[in-house]
Chain A
Amino acid sequence: MLKIENLHVSYGGIKALRGISLEVPDGKIVTLIGANGAGKSTTLRTISGLVKADSGSITYNDQELLGKPINKVLEAGIAQAPEGRRVFPNLTVLENLKIGAYLRSDKDGIERDLKWVYELFPRLEERHWQLAGTLSGGEQQMLAVGRALMSRPKLLMMDEPSLGLAPLVVQGIFDIIRTINEQGVTVLLIEQNANMALKIADYAYVLETGNITKSGTGAELLADESIKEAYLGKKKK
């Protein structure tokens, strides 16, 4: 289980997170929703070790992650598919996947997981020789997720996987998220597309300007009037 307690993060004097606490139990899909600038990406970046925290704690299976270098967080079993896909455009699809397994040295295991990723995303196998920069947005998102999976994570963090994608493609990505989760990978999902995220989430947190203002099961928040108004596009009467 990933456990964040009273986490404070700031960028050059500006407070991005003001003491958030949340839990991601094993085997679940947990989502963090909120508007632009609420601190969602900062949360993920702090877990991964890209951003230093001011105070608080992040533990994974009772092991403190704060202050650990990025590769140690990855070794602990937490991978991230970053916002905006960030595939390596100058590497082929296959190389992008291999680089996801950069820290691993078990050749057979990598080969097995490559097959697994190809099963999840047959499109990637068809295009394995292509430069990732030539893929469509949806394919790049598949690649970003596949690349993260190549590290064999126990917890996969996804930052806005639906960003800039056509609705049909988004549906496909969310189907895959559910499949991955059913195969035993815990998911921490960040989304602005609150509707989609809440529908697949076991548990959800709402982040507003650095504070967690609400939490509950996906279904509870979907039914919540204030959430509907703020995030689900329901008009005020």
Chain B
Amino acid sequence: MHDAAYFIQLLLSGVTVGSLYALIAIGYTMVYGILRLINFAHGDIFMMAGFFMVYISATCSLAISIPLVLILTVVLGVLIEKAAYKPLRTAPRMSVMISAIGVSYLLQNLATYITGGIARAYPDITFLTKVMQVGGLSIKRITIITPILTIVLVAILVVLIQKTKIGMAMRAVSRDFETSQLMGIKINSVISMTFVIGSFLAGVASILYFANYGQVSPMIGAMPGLKAFVAAVFGGIGSIPGAVIGAFIIGICESFIKANENIAVFSNAFTFALLIIILLCKPNGLFGEKLTEKV
């Protein structure tokens, strides 16, 4: 029999993993909301952020490395958009999607080439990894910090989108490119802004994830990226609250499945089975925009 402390520990670890998925999932869902594009390279941006940290922290202190990593990740995200997606703005959606898959492989192979394919140790961010004792539970600080930081960032993002002028422009552009342009909105700056936000959050997730995981390898972005993508679809792609809630649900379920040794091996399978079930039963996800609307 397990006690309540064990249960809480599992729940906490699920919430933490879910938070990381949520931070990544927002990047998927926002880009989809505006460009109707699944940015397959997003998981690899997350991976690249990991390597940025490995290399930068070799020469700089963490106080410099962390902001620098976030800035570089944002720059990478925006560059990818400008180089691989923007030229295809009027091309069929499938072309952009293939371009995204291409960027994903490019980043993975670039990382393999530079690192020789060997996993690199992630710097120890002691501030995050320190173990604390809370009411009989021993937990890493990161387990508490991750969900709190995620909720704060999501709250800021929601305010940005609902209350500011650029947020209003983003919502307008997500519905109608042409009319948005007629209002004087510069579509390309709004799209860039989306990539800035998505990449920034992926960068934050990367620091929290690898600080806990301890090492970075070129293919490591794929699985968290896919899980976050499933979370975004589960919540209804295009919807930010949907992505966050989807991510928490998947994170918590995974945590409990992994804890049961009989079914632990199926934890990934569970996530993707969930994707199939959602697509079959509720293709728009939990909070997805309805396809029909009054015209």
Segment touching B, from A24-32, A83-91, A167-175: A83-91
**Nearest CB in chain B to that of A75: its residue:** B184
**Are A88 and B169 in contact, CB atoms less than 8 angstroms apart?**
no
**Are B184 and A82 in contact, CB atoms less than 8 angstroms apart?**
no
Q: Which of B168, B175, B178 contacts A89 (CB 8 A)?
A: B175
Whether A67 is near chain B, meaning CB under 8 Å from some CB there, is no
**Are A71 and B184 in contact, CB atoms less than 8 angstroms apart?**
yes
Q: Which of B190-214 contact A (CB under 8 A)?
A: none
**Nearest CB in chain B to that of A147: its residue:** B183
Whether A99 is near chain B, meaning CB under 8 Å from some CB there, is yes
B residues in contact with A82, CB < 8 Å: 178-179, 182
User: In whole angstroms, what is the CA distance A214 to B176 when docked?
Assistant: 35
**Are A91 and B168 in contact, CB atoms less than 8 angstroms apart?**
yes
A residues in contact with B179, CB < 8 Å: 82, 86, 88
**Are B183 and A86 in contact, CB atoms less than 8 angstroms apart?**
no
A residues in contact with B294, CB < 8 Å: 89, 133-134
**Are A99 and B169 in contact, CB atoms less than 8 angstroms apart?**
yes
**Nearest CB in chain A to that of B295: its residue:** A84
Whether A48 is near chain B, meaning CB under 8 Å from some CB there, is yes
**Are A50 and B169 in contact, CB atoms less than 8 angstroms apart?**
no
Whether A100 is near chain B, meaning CB under 8 Å from some CB there, is yes
**Are B172 and A89 in contact, CB atoms less than 8 angstroms apart?**
no
Whether A80 is near chain B, meaning CB under 8 Å from some CB there, is yes
In this complex, the member of B165, B183, B186, B289 whose beta carbon has the largest number of chain A beta carbons within 10 angstroms is B183
In this complex, the member of B165, B168, B179 whose beta carbon has the largest number of chain A beta carbons within 10 angstroms is B179
A residues in contact with B293, CB < 8 Å: 89, 133
Q: Which of B175, B184, B186, B295 contacts A88 (CB 8 A)?
A: B175
User: In whole angstroms, what is the CA distance A79 to B184 when docked?
Assistant: 10
B residues in contact with A90, CB < 8 Å: 171, 174-175, 289
**Are B171 and A91 in contact, CB atoms less than 8 angstroms apart?**
yes
> Shortest distance in angstroms between A209's beta carbon and chain B's nearest beta carbon?
24
Task: Give the bracket for the number of chain B residues in contact with chain A.
Answer: 20 to 34
User: In whole angstroms, what is the CA distance A102 to B194 when docked?
Assistant: 18
User: In whole angstroms, what is the CA distance A228 to B160 when docked?
Assistant: 55
**Are A70 and B176 in contact, CB atoms less than 8 angstroms apart?**
no
**Are A98 and B168 in contact, CB atoms less than 8 angstroms apart?**
yes
Determine chain B's interface SS by DSSP, over half rule.
helix
User: In whole angstroms, what is the CA distance A90 to B172 when docked?
Assistant: 8
Q: Which of A38-75 contact B (CB under 8 A)?
A: 48, 50, 70-71, 74-75
**Are B183 and A48 in contact, CB atoms less than 8 angstroms apart?**
no
Known contacts A95-B168, A102-B169; is-contact A48 B182 (Cβ 8 Å): yes
Q: Which of A84, A102, A134, A147 contacts B185 (CB 8 A)?
A: A102
Whether B181 is near chain A, meaning CB under 8 Å from some CB there, is yes
Whether A103 is near chain B, meaning CB under 8 Å from some CB there, is yes
**Are A74 and B168 in contact, CB atoms less than 8 angstroms apart?**
no
**Are B181 and A88 in contact, CB atoms less than 8 angstroms apart?**
no
**Are B184 and A86 in contact, CB atoms less than 8 angstroms apart?**
no
**Nearest CB in chain A to that of B294: its residue:** A133
B residues in contact with A89, CB < 8 Å: 175, 293-294
A residues in contact with B176, CB < 8 Å: 86, 88
**Are A70 and B181 in contact, CB atoms less than 8 angstroms apart?**
yes
Q: Which of B165, B172, B181 contacts A91 (CB 8 A)?
A: B172
**Are B183 and A100 in contact, CB atoms less than 8 angstroms apart?**
yes
> Shortest distance in angstroms between A96's beta carbon and chain B's nearest beta carbon?
8
Whether A162 is near chain B, meaning CB under 8 Å from some CB there, is no
In this complex, the member of A75, A80, A88, A147 whose beta carbon has the largest number of chain B beta carbons within 10 angstroms is A88
> Shortest distance in angstroms between B127's beta carbon and chain A's nearest beta carbon?
41
**Nearest CB in chain B to that of A88: its residue:** B172
User: In whole angstroms, what is the CA distance A82 to B174 when docked?
Assistant: 18
Q: What 19 new A-B contacts, CB under 8 Å, besides A71-B185, A86-B176, A86-B179?
A: A71-B184, A74-B183, A74-B184, A82-B178, A88-B171, A88-B172, A88-B176, A89-B175, A89-B293, A89-B294, A90-B171, A90-B289, A98-B168, A99-B180, A99-B185, A102-B165, A103-B183, A147-B183, A151-B184
The 23 listed contacts between A and B (C-beta, < 8 Å) are A50-B178, A50-B182, A70-B181, A70-B184, A75-B184, A79-B182, A88-B172, A89-B175, A90-B171, A90-B174, A90-B175, A91-B168, A91-B171, A95-B168, A99-B169, A99-B180, A99-B185, A100-B183, A102-B169, A102-B183, A102-B184, A102-B185, A103-B183
- Interface of B toward A, CB cutoff 8 Å: 165, 168-169, 171-172, 174-176, 178-186, 289, 293-295
